[in-house]
């Protein structure tokens, strides 16, 4: 599966992202791979960081299911926050 659109970044800063998937997932923001959680595996979380400016940034989230179990979740930690949180529909603008 491939999901794409635009993510609204509320303020300049360093953002932490994660995907948690069973099986593989890859998150790209702009042309940069931010999270590489690819491969056949059970549900695991992988993280990455990227500096972003306030505004809209294109994203592609790729996911594949190999066998048994299926799950996909992604989220972020905004600058100044202490915890990861799910990315919600209000933050997304889909193609």
Tens of pLDDT, residues 7-43: 999 999 999 999 999 889 999 999 999 999 998 888 8
The count of domains in the chain is 1
Residue 95 lies in a domain: no
User: Does the pLDDT value for residue 61 go beyond 90?
Assistant: yes
Q: Let me know if residue 20 belongs to a domain.
A: yes
Distances (CA, A) of 75 to 1, 16, 45, 67: 18, 8, 10, 24
pLDDT band at 95 (very low <50, low <70, confident <90, very high): low
Residue 18 lies in a domain: yes
Q: What is the span of the domain harbouring residue 33?
A: 2-88
Residue 30 forms part of a structural domain: yes
Q: Is residue 82 part of a domain?
A: yes
The verdict on residue 93 lying in a domain is no
- List the CATH number of the domain containing 30: 2.60.120.1560
- Give the burial class of 84: count Cβ atoms within 10 A of its Cβ; 0-12 exposed, 13-18 middle, 19 or more buried: middle
């Amino acid at each position: 599966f491939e999901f794409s659109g635009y993510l609204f970044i509320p303020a300049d800063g360093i953002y932490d992202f994660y995907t948690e998937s069973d099986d593989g997932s890859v998150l790209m923001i702009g042309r940069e791979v931010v999270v590489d959680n690819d491969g056949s595996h059970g549900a695991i979380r992988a993280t990455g960081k990227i500096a972003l400016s306030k505004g809209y940034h294109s994203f592609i989230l790729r996911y594949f299911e190999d066998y048994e179990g299926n799950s996909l979740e992604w989220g972020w930690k905004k600058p100044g926050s202490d915890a990861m949180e799910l990315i919600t529909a209000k933050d997304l603008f889909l193609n």
